[in-house]
């Protein structure tokens, strides 16, 4: 008899949304409640879809000093699941390690199993008519540098076997701290059918089948960083005769983070710019969610001169925020990035013989492998502050944005 399970990670319950600022009270209230409402939606979905169990792969809370409100909400949710006969398995990650912080929960219902940090535990039960074994381990401390996947035992006795782990598969390429670093080959070794992972906030599958290695992404976006944007939620997996289906995304986020961009090349006036931005960020285009938006205004045209005025830029942002805050659901314009250029011929600055031409040549001729090391010498606190200001894309996109900003600073022109 087939069965289903739900896999979620990185709930960050009661996340403070520190990267979003300047909002009115009603927007603040929605943001403050977003992670908890997403958790409520997860519980409802698990019950409605009649899953056999729920897997939570770490970072249940946003910090070691987890708040009472978040803990009460979590306990209420897993108790509600247990009341409907649904098991919950959970591990703690780098944000909420077992050995740090405190807990206001003195016990869980029988169907809830939090995995310890001292060793890998294996819990066996029956789902449908099939033997299921869930193997898991929590973090004892936040900076877990050990490859915990190597502790997991090999599968024995048949059935559908799952590894539940907060880990970084692929190292620094994921853009996340390299906690419990491991490789796909490490995860193949035990012979499980499914690895339920957490830590990386972008939903993706490092391995699809034999076994499935799955990051469901975080439950609720929190910033306009690329990994936090787009639809967020959990995945549901169907298992029939020991074979898992492709994970099905269930959208559960309450507030959507997004980047939008418009070009001024063919826009007649500031009103047209506003219309284009509002259309791109309309909640109807984003599953009807409330929105937190970072906008980029680029292109070349006659509007550049008007939009270069600090006063006009402030007016445009103020109007976007006024209109967006009054809409239902709201659209909060968190930031506007200005990249417009005047109409006319592009100047080849490389042909000059001065500091500007040296700067252009340096930026253009730096090898690609050196462009990827720009953050190596920056302190961690500076990198955190930069995170929400950086453009989307890879290191080359960031490098090109830095090039444009440097030229703006010294000339106001681009090449």
What are the pLDDT digits (tens) for 363-380? 777 876 666 666 666 665
- The structure tokens listed for 65 are 């000093």
pLDDT at site 364: 73
**Which ranges constitute the DSSP H helices of 138-222?**
184-188
pLDDT score of 188: 96
Q: pTM for the complete prediction?
A: 0.81
Q: Centre a 10 Å sphere on the Cβ of residue 368 and count the other Cβ atoms it contains.
A: 9
Q: What is the pLDDT of residue 105?
A: 83
Below-70 pLDDT ranges, the chain: 18-21, 64-65, 171-176, 344-352, 368-415
250/248 Cα distance (integer angstroms): 6
d(CA 234, CA 215): 9
pLDDT at 414: 46
The predicted structure's pLDDT at residue 394: 54
Is the Cβ–Cβ distance between 199 and 168 less than 8 Å? Answer: yes
* Cα–Cα distance measured from residue 280 to residue 291, given in angstroms and rounded to the nearest whole number: 11
Strand order of the β-sheet with 331-341 is 255-263, 290-300, 331-341
Task: Report pLDDT for 415.
Answer: 44
């Amino acid at each position: 008899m087939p069965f289903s399970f739900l896999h979620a990670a990185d709930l960050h319950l009661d996340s403070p949304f520190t990267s979003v600022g300047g909002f009115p009270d009603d927007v603040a209230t929605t943001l403050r409640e977003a992670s908890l409402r997403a958790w409520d939606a997860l519980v409802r979905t698990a019950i409605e879809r009649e899953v056999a169990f729920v897997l939570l792969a770490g970072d249940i809370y946003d910090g070691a000093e987890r708040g009472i409100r978040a803990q009460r909400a979590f306990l209420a949710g897993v108790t509600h699941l247990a009341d409907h006969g649904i098991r919950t398995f959970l591990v703690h990650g780098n944000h909420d390690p077992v050995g740090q912080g405190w807990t206001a929960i003195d016990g869980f219902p029988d169907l809830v199993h939090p995995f310890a940090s001292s060793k890998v535990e294996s819990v066996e039960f029956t789902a449908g008519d099939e033997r299921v074994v869930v193997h898991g381990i929590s973090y004892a401390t936040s900076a877990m540098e050990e490859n915990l996947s190597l502790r997991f035992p090999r599968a024995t006795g048949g059935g559908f076997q799952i590894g539940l782990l907060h880990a970084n598969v692929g190292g620094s390429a994921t853009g996340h701290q390299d906690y419990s670093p491991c490789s796909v080959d490490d995860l193949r070794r035990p012979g499980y059918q499914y690895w339920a992972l957490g830590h990386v906030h972008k939903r993706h599958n490092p391995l699809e089948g034999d076994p499935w290695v799955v990051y469901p992404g975080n439950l609720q976006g929190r910033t306009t960083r690329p990994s936090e944007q787009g639809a967020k939620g959990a995945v549901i997996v169907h298992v029939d005769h020991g074979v898992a289906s492709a994970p099905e995304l269930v959208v559960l986020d309450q507030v959507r983070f997004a980047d939008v961009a418009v070009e001024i090349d063919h826009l007649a006036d500031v009103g047209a710019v506003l219309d284009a931005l509002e259309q791109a960020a309309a909640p109807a285009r984003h599953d009807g969610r409330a929105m937190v938006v970072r906008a980029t205004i680029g292109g070349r045209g006659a509007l550049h001169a008007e939009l270069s005025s600090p006063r006009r830029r402030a007016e445009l942002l103020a109007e976007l925020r006024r209109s967006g805050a009054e809409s239902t659901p709201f659209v909060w314009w968190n930031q506007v990035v200005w990249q417009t250029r005047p109409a006319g011929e592009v100047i080849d600055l490389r042909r000059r013989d001065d500091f500007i031409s040296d700067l252009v040549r340096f930026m253009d001729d730096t090898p690609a492998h050196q462009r990827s090391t720009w953050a190596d010498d920056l302190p961690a606190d500076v990198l955190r502050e930069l995170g929400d200001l950086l453009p989307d894309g890879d290191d080359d996109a960031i490098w090109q944005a830095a090039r444009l900003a440097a030229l703006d600073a010294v000339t106001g022109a681009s090449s």
